[in-house]
Amino acid sequence: MTLSDALGEAGEAVVRARTVLNMAGIWIDKVNAMAGAGAGRKITGTKGVHLMVRLPEECRGRAVMGTNRENEHLYCLPWNDLHYFGPTETLYEGDIDGIRPLDEDIDWLIGEVNHLMPGLGFRRGDVLFAWAGVRPLTYDPALPKGARRREIHDLAKDGMPGVLAMTAGPIMTHRSAGRELTDAVAARIKPSGSAQAISYDARSFPENQNSPPLSDDYKEIKLADLRHAAAHEHVTGLIDLLHRRVNTGWTATMAHTAARKAAEEAAKELGWDQARIDQEVKRYHDYLMQQHRVGEGGLYDGRRAVLGEGN
């Protein structure tokens, strides 16, 4: 039986479990509120914005670490043949479903980078694209920007027995976070199966050197890779495919011009008709504009600026 069969027409199902993990990041409080038990606040969000640029060839693979004028860290990190500057670290109390890199974030970050590296002459037109996220830090009334301490909250105290939530678990320690949570669950319920060996190996796409690349800007991802991902990686749409299943979305052009070709290729596996292809391409372009300020009138207007040259 598939999930949609189980959910039925109403799109709802009742699932019973002795232990429930609320791992919804910045949405943890929202999910708790859906349970209606009046759980206390667990999350404080700080907004982080980054800016992708192209630096001169001799900078490739090199990084700079420093601090901004508020003594928070400010870095420039290599990303393939590009670099990104960031982050911002501002308290976020806006709509958690509408997090975007705003002009004020971008201008503030550019100002801080120019303060740290006055010779760079960084301008808005140098930004290829921007992105924003909100960190799910632990709520602590004594710390306005939240606590970076990773915590497992036992929500029994909040009227939700058997429910645990984790806050402030960064990506870099995700393995230990997984072990800590597994231990917390194992202390409550016995495992039903035997222990399995975990493989952390990355899986690569099958050999595909005869397949042309999706985009001449970034030759690593081939059309065959898109078809493979579409067939085997539970792709839900073009945004999902280009940003999460292959990384062509995270290149200098964000695959803006390659979107239609990618949708047509995915359609061969996913059975999309022409109307769905058009819808996916439009949705992709709207997403690039909203989330990354890329497209007509956005930050990236076709110039391939090299930051630090010709200033």
Residues that bind ligand FAD (CB under 6 A): 23-27, 31, 48, 87, 133-136, 169-172
Q: How far is the CB of 92 from ligand FAD (least distance, A)?
A: 9
CA-wise closest residue to 99 among 15, 25, 205: 25
Q: How many C-alpha atoms does 160 have within 13 Å on its Cβ side?
A: 23
| Comparison of 50 and 285: residue with beta carbon closer to ligand FAD | 50
Axis-axis angle for helices 259-270, 274-292 (nearest 10): 130
CB of 58 to ligand FAD, least distance (A): 25
Shortest separation between residue 37's beta carbon and ligand FAD, angstroms: 16
20-22 and 163-167 as β-strands: parallel, antiparallel, unpaired? parallel
End-to-end CA distance of the chain: 62
Q: Which is nearer to ligand FAD, 133 or 298 (CB)?
A: 133
Q: Which residues does 107 contact at the CB level (< 8 Å), separation at least 6?
A: 124
The residue among 129, 176, 130 whose CA lies nearest residue 150 is: 176
Distance CA(124)–CA(111), nearest Å, equals: 10
User: 134 vs 307, which CB is nearer to ligand FAD?
Assistant: 134
CB of 171 to ligand FAD, least distance (A): 4
Least Å from the CB of residue 35 to ligand FAD? 11
- Report the b/e string of 11-37 with b at 16+ CB within 10 A: eeeeeeeeebebbbbbbbbebbeeeee
Nearer residue to ligand FAD within complex by CB, 146 or 295? 146
Give the phi and the psi of residue 167 in degrees, each rounded to 5: -115, 155
Least distance in angstroms from the C-beta of 268 to ligand FAD: 28
Measured from the CB atom, the residue of 32 and 251 that comes closer to ligand FAD is 32
> Residue 223 — φ and ψ, nearest 5°?
-60, -35
Nearer residue to ligand FAD within complex by CB, 133 or 159: 133
State the minimum distance, in angstroms, from the CB of residue 274 to ligand FAD: 30
Nearer to ligand FAD, 48 or 308 (CB): 48
